[in-house]
Chain A
């Protein structure tokens, strides 16, 4: 099956630090990438959708200047949490849709990144 590599899996850093999370598709081209945020014992909340080579589309309430998304190639997308604060602590998950995939095709998820801001 499709493999998505997300790293780091866990990061702890001081308040004010910027943190970059990488998400790679290892065996397929992904035109569309999704970034989710998940609080403990809660569901996945879609933060933004990005298409390769174009600007990300952010969901309502998500600060685009806080959460910078770069989808520079068909196999790589990054999420940078800028000037992170304790309230940004959460579990972040990426997922890809294969190039040409329709709505009936599942997304392929990364293993997630646990971000802890001290």
Chain B
């Protein structure tokens, strides 16, 4: 069975600095997709970034980028130039065609941004 692990329950970063949130996963599938979601205090889940496993190039969305290490089954999220609005819970998620459209979510990392 697939699992997703986020080993950092909480992280802090100074405003304008860079922070990396870690995520590891376990799967025997070759075709899958990885996502990072943000859940601010308003509680709505917001897609931050996604990565297709078959792509070697790391995904980037403005200040957000991933370090995807397929062999190590690692999918970390780097937030550059952190802003106060980045404070939220961040969830890593796994999805695959074999699982249909279901996500497997990690346990989340709470990110605090210090002014």
On A, residues with C-beta under 8 Å from B are 32, 34, 41-44, 46, 49, 91, 93, 95, 97, 101-104, 106-107, 109-112
Report the interface size for chain B: residues with CB under 8 A from the other chain. 25
Q: Is residue B28 contacting chain A, with contact meaning CB distance below 8 A?
A: no
Q: Is residue B102 contacting chain A, with contact meaning CB distance below 8 A?
A: yes
A43 adjacent to B91 (CB under 8 Å): yes
Given the known inter-chain contacts A104-B52, A106-B35, A106-B50, please indicate yes or no for A43 contacting B108, CB distance below 8 A. yes
**Shortest 5 CB-CB contacts between residues of A and residues of B:** A109-B45, A106-B47, A112-B43, A43-B105, A97-B101
Closest to A49 in B: B102
- Return 22 A-B CB contacts under 8 Å, by A number: A32-B100, A41-B110, A42-B108, A43-B105, A43-B108, A46-B102, A49-B102, A91-B43, A93-B45, A97-B101, A101-B101, A103-B33, A103-B95, A103-B99, A103-B100, A103-B101, A106-B47, A107-B101, A107-B103, A109-B45, A111-B42, A111-B43
Given known contacts A107-B101, A111-B42, what 11 new A-B pairs fall within 8 Å (CB)?
A34-B103, A42-B107, A43-B107, A44-B103, A101-B101, A102-B97, A103-B96, A103-B99, A103-B100, A106-B50, A109-B45
Find chain B residues with CB under 8 A from A93 CB: 43, 45
- From residue B111, how far is it (CB to closest CB) to chain A in Å? 14
A103 adjacent to B97 (CB under 8 Å): yes
Find chain B residues with CB under 8 A from A32 CB: 100-101
CA distance A107 to B110 in the complex (A): 21
Q: Is residue B62 contacting chain A, with contact meaning CB distance below 8 A?
A: no
Q: Which of A43, A107, A111 contacts B44 (CB 8 A)?
A: A111
CA distance A104 to B33 in the complex (A): 6
A109 adjacent to B97 (CB under 8 Å): no
A46 adjacent to B108 (CB under 8 Å): no
- From residue B48, how far is it (CB to closest CB) to chain A in Å? 10
Find chain B residues with CB under 8 A from A107 CB: 101, 103
- From residue B62, how far is it (CB to closest CB) to chain A in Å? 16
Find chain B residues with CB under 8 A from A104 CB: 33, 50, 52, 95
